Amino acid sequence: MTKPTIVLTGAAGGVGGMLRPLLAARYRLILSDRTEPPADLTAEETWHTADLTDRAAVDELMRGADGLIHLGGQSVEADWQTVHDANIAGLWNIYDACRAEGVARIIFASSNHAVGFYPRTRRIGVDQAVRPDGLYGVSKAFGEALGSLFADKHGLRVMSIRIGNVAEKPADHRRLSIWLHPEDLAQLIDIGLTHPDIHHAIVYGASHNERAWWDNSAAFALGYAPKHHAEDHVDYAMAEQAKLPADPVGDLLQGGAFCADGFDGDLSRTLSARLPR
């Protein structure tokens, strides 16, 4: 049986590098980034150098694909023009090219930073209002909204994954709550690319984290069953945490340092705010 052809943007990044070997058995991968091909490119992978702001290049990238895993774009906080070009204008090109080229499934790498200003004492699902902790988080909230539009108006099937932190093990106290093992991310991606009932699903990208701040029942309802446990790495995470300075703002909020960056608001009001659903 012919493998489905899946485009993976942001393939030269750290998460893309972790995912490639996990996805190769199930999909024919077309890899893309702004860089030249990585040295470990296999014979089963095809590379396209493309900038998301170049609509013609994005159209060519999507031609003939069955699905897209979109990791590309600006991956951390930055100035507005940088975020806008990659994660707003570039993301529009991605979605509209998928519509034009008949790409049926999209996995959008959203982020916990779309909801980063919720306090760590608050457990949230996917139905609460977004509370982005920076311009990067705003762009991820925009991406979720754009996915909803293209699902409703154009019939694409979209899964937006609010990714915590992808790594082999959680690196500090905060990440014991938001950690995502690469194998668990690959499982979520498989669900998004194959589940028959996907319309526009928003799920949290988290492994089995006993300290989780997120209700991930939306993912569990689709069959997600994470295999990796954050508490298996608690000694390592807490030892790394001991090396970090205290953050009087970030240590109280789910988005951590992203919340503290440039913060000059009323912390008590931020922590006590109850936003409408």
262 Cβ contact partners less than 8 Å away, ≥ 6 residues apart: 134
Q: Considering the entire predicted model, what is its pTM? A: 0.97
216 Cβ contact partners less than 8 Å away, ≥ 6 residues apart: 125, 203, 204, 206, 224
Instruction: Set out the domains of the chain in order of their start, with CATH numbers.
Output: 5-272 (3.40.50.720)
136 carries an active-site annotation: yes
Give tens-digit pLDDT for 184-240: 999 999 999 999 999 999 999 999 999 999 999 999 999 999 999 999 999 999 999
pLDDT of residue 277: 61
Percent of the chain exceeding pLDDT 70 equals 99
DSSP-derived secondary structure letter, 84: I
Residue of 136, 204, 224, 236 with catalytic role:
136
Give tens-digit pLDDT for 48-88: 999 999 999 999 999 999 999 999 999 999 999 999 999 99
Give tens-digit pLDDT for 210-224: 999 999 999 999 999
